[in-house]
Structure 1
């Protein structure tokens, strides 16, 4: 088994405190099987006593790994926030046979309501409210000229 990314231990090791011996290793007499003796029992009990500490170390490593992943993700996120009355471009949702040279954005649209979730209700140039809210990920600020 290979170590799980971020913890350094396999799931089997985290649960049972040691690595599994595959049936193939038993049949071909691997080094682990050849060097096993009765004295390993005491070492095994000591390893079992250390299981909680091993899990705590794995949790600490996994937490650090997740924090690095979060920082890496957040570094590339472009925060967008609009106010009521702002003009925005709206991403065109491809439907059917969309041509390669068609514009990816349409607009301008006016922000008429901001939801707590970060979504926005829009209205078009004729004052018609769009039927659903749009995420800021699908909007860009409108800059004329």
Structure 2
């Protein structure tokens, strides 16, 4: 997305003409999380761009058609294995990212009667306030514990807050 955003910002008004090239470069760039390109996981082979074809023309011109068919068939045979490896790598990457993110999280238990603030979500936010709208509303008092991390709230006057 950063590559897409950067390239399209440079182009400005002619972004529609350049979009296909940016998407192609994104699909043929190896991703950190899976160690493969999305193109190779779909088609079983790496994409060859036009400049590589011109440089490696001799190699392609001497390749036998039958040998090429055999190599493509063998790559299609192992594509399921490559996808499974990519899935394992993605799970390990997500686990590492979650562990890094959660290492500074402090567990805080709330009790009935504690005062809390409630997050204001975009669909409930006052649109006329713009970027200066509050992100939190309250204070509210915890009326009861519904489940682990879910609470029933009431206003400071004792009125129940709907959908809390």
TM-score band w.r.t. shorter chain: 0.5 to 0.7
- Residue aligned with 2:35, SS: coil
TM-score when scaled to structure 2? Answer: 0.57
1:67 aligns with 2:95: yes
More helix by share: 2
1:20 aligns with 2:47: yes
* Count, aligned residues: 125
The whole-number CA distance in structure 2 between the counterparts of 1:92 and 1:69 is 25
Q: How does 1:25-104 map to 2 (within 5 A)?
A: 25=51, 29-31=54-56, 33-36=57-60, 37-38=63-64, 39-84=67-112, 86-90=113-117
Decide whether the 8 Å contact of 1:112 with 1:122 is kept in 2. yes
The whole-number CA distance in structure 2 between the counterparts of 1:50 and 1:130 is 56
Q: Which has the higher contact order (CA 8 A, sep 6+)?
A: 1
The runs of 5 or more residues in structure 2 that have no matched partner are 1-27
The runs of 5 or more residues in structure 1 that have no matched partner are 134-145
Larger radius of gyration: 1
Go from structure 1 to structure 2 and tell me whether the alpha carbon gap of 1:53 and 1:129 turns closer, same or farther (over 3 Å shift): closer
- In the TM superposition, residue 10 of structure 1 has moved relative to its aligned partner by 0.8
Decide whether the 8 Å contact of 2:141 with 2:153 is kept in 1. yes
- Residue aligned with 2:115, SS: strand
1:112 aligns with 2:110: no
Decide whether the 8 Å contact of 1:89 with 1:105 is kept in 2. no
State the superposition RMSD in angstroms: 3.3
- Residue aligned with 1:35, SS: helix
Q: Alpha-carbon deviations, 1:79-109, whole Å to 9, x = none? A: 333232x322426868676xx9xxx8864x4
The whole-number CA distance in structure 2 between the counterparts of 1:79 and 1:61 is 29
Q: Who is 1:137 aligned against? A: none
